[in-house]
Each structure stands twice: as C-alpha cells, then as structure tokens.
Amino acid sequence: MFRRDVKALSELIMRNLRTQGLEMPLLQRRLIAAWPEVAGPAVARYTTQVVIRNQTLYVSVVNAALRADLTMNRMTYVKQLNAVVQAQVIVDIRFV
C-alpha cells in the first residue's frame, strides 16, 4: 500500500501564490475590499480612498469629526480587518 498526501485545494493555491510572491498582494486586496464591511456603510460613505503602504492602511476621510473618532478606534479596526483576511497584513491605520 502507498500513502497519499491529501491536501486541501485552498492550501495548495495559497502555497503556489506564496512561492510566486503573490500572496501578500492578494491579502492586501481582500483587506481593502473588506473596509466598507468592517467600517459600516455610514463610515464607508465618507471615505474616498483606501491604500496600503508599508503595512499601514491609509484611509481618506472627508469629515474631520469622523476622522477624529476613527483615529481613537483605529486599533480596533486593525484587529477586525486582519481577522477578516486571517493574516497580519496591516499594523496601523492612518486617517487622512
């Protein structure tokens, strides 16, 4: 008898992406796409641009009062966004 090494398809795909250096860009795109879901529709309506640079998520907010409120809760958003993608993609959020 021989032994089969059975792997999940998702595991094989992620391993292939990792070897090609495409895993992190994919996770970053998923995190950016998850911003409206995590922040909620009321907050997402006031955000215009969401970009990741050097493990920091930059979110453009058009309302100054909302920007101050989001800044106080930024670590909560960091934890929630990383939990959605199930990886440590960002370490900080800056609201500009």
Per-residue pLDDT of the chain (96 residues; tens, 9 = 90+): 577 888 888 888 888 877 887 788 889 999 999 999 999 999 999 999 999 999 999 999 999 999 999 999 999 999 999 999 999 999 999 999
Helix, strand or coil for residue 60? strand
- Comparing C-alpha atoms, which of 56, 8, 6 is closest to residue 31? 56
The pLDDT, as a whole number, for residue 1 is: 59
The pLDDT, as a whole number, for residue 64 is: 93
Other C-beta atoms lying within 10 Å of the C-beta of residue 4 = 6
The pLDDT, as a whole number, for residue 58 is: 96
Whether this prediction's pTM lies above 0.85 is answered by no
